[in-house]
Amino acid sequence: MSEQIDGLFEKLTALIRSIYREPQADDIIRSFEAVFSVQEDDVERREALEYWLDFYRLQQRRLLKRRRRPLLNERTAPCAACGYPASHRHHLWDIATHGENEVTIQLCANCHELHHLMYNALVKESAYSRSIVRHVLASGHLPHVVIQRVLGWCLATIRYEAANGWVDGRKGSRAWVAQQLGWPPVVQAASRLDEER
């Protein structure tokens, strides 16, 4: 085999070993070795190696994006925003972009949904999400501290994504939040309600 083909084969074997456990990886690699030992045309070998490299890179990407099942202690942990006794694991770094990761907070279903609605209203400029968030914030049923926590995590996510160039950093500014969510009047109303409780 030529040097280029040897390099591609080494990349392929390393990729296979990163995806599969040892016995299965060894079987797959032996199969490739058997096929390439009888294939004489270097152009066909290179094309086949490039095809299989792409295939296994896709497999690796799918594995990285797969969600793990939440543990019992995660599901029974209280919501970090409102204290409800059961929660979801919310990824501050989006799974679709980053795969399964440890940057999480525990949120109940309502706070989890509110976080996503706020994010969509601010970053994706969704009119539907904005109207729901405004309705929830104006309802007076959420303590001010819950609203502040959920918005704070949402803005932290926006700042992280803006620092990496994925979103416009202005979408996490006070002026943008006020424009999209009507934030100052809601904060004042929530503060008054907290004082009355």
pTM of the model: 0.61
Distances (CA, A) of 142 to 45, 81, 145, 160, 172: 63, 10, 8, 26, 22
Residue 197 pLDDT > 50: no
Q: How far apart are CA 58 and CA 73, in angstroms?
A: 32
Q: How far apart are CA 165 and CA 55, in angstroms?
A: 29
Contacts (Cβ under 8 Å, ≥6 apart) of 77: 87, 106
Q: What is the pLDDT of residue 64?
A: 65
Q: Are 52 and 33 in contact, with CB atoms under 8 Å apart?
A: no
Q: Are 180 and 158 in contact, with CB atoms under 8 Å apart?
A: no
Q: How far apart are CA 92 and CA 84, in angstroms?
A: 19
CB-count burial class (<10 Å; 0-12, 13-18, 19+) for 161: buried
Place of tokens 């989890």: 112
Kindly list the domain boundaries of the chain, sorted by start residue: 3-65, 72-196
pLDDT digits (tens, 9 = 90+) for 32-82: 888 888 888 888 888 888 999 999 888 887 776 666 667 777 778 899 999
**Mean pLDDT, residues 9-35 taken together:** 89
| Segment holding 187, helix H or strand E | helix 183-196
